[in-house]
Structure 1
């Protein structure tokens, strides 16, 4: 897969980032999210260094990702439970139908 470099600006500093072809829009969207986090943190705590801001932003974004993954996992578990219930109900109905036909 080929890649190209795109420029991303975070807190006024521009970075050239290698990006797989076709993923540029996704990288820019992620960079915008990171910039929002950094700017928000900087506005709240003007005394943090760039490194500390980056760490806090990474932790905040990581927490959001964790919460979304947990919700997704819980949803998948609920769907698995519903599918098992539906399978059981169908099997029970087929057994009852088979008994009636005998």
Structure 2
């Protein structure tokens, strides 16, 4: 898959980022969300460097990702439990049906 460079602007600085073709809109969307978070952090804090703002944003995004991963794991466990219950119910029904047919 080939890549092309697209320009994104974060906190007033423009960066040229390599992006796989067809994924430009996704990268722009992520960059837009990151810019909102960086701008929000910058507005709420006084006199901290770009590096510190970037670290705070990375920690916030990492925490959000961790929460979503945990939600996904919880959902997978719930679905596994429901599938197990369904399988058990079907097995019991099939055994009952087989014994009634005899």
With normalisation by structure 1, the TM-score equals 0.98
Deviation at 1:8, TM superposition (A): 0.5
CA RMSD of aligned residues (A): 0.6
Q: CA–CA distance in 1 between the matches of 2:89 and 2:75?
A: 21
Residue aligning to 1:34? 34
The alignment partner of 2:4 has SS state of strand
1:66-96, Cα deviation, whole Å (9 max, x unpaired) = 1011101110110011001000000000001
Residue aligning to 1:75? 75
Q: Could you tell me which runs of 5 or more consecutive residues in structure 2 were left unpaired when the two chains were aligned.
A: none
Residue 44, structure 1, aligned to residue 44, structure 2: yes
Deviation at 1:48, TM superposition (A): 1.1
Deviation at 1:47, TM superposition (A): 1.5
Q: Could you tell me which runs of 5 or more consecutive residues in structure 1 were left unpaired when the two chains were aligned.
A: none
Number of equivalences: 102
With normalisation by structure 2, the TM-score equals 0.98
Deviation at 1:46, TM superposition (A): 2.3
Residue aligning to 2:25? 25
Task: Out of 51-60 and 29-38, give the one that drifted further.
Answer: 29-38
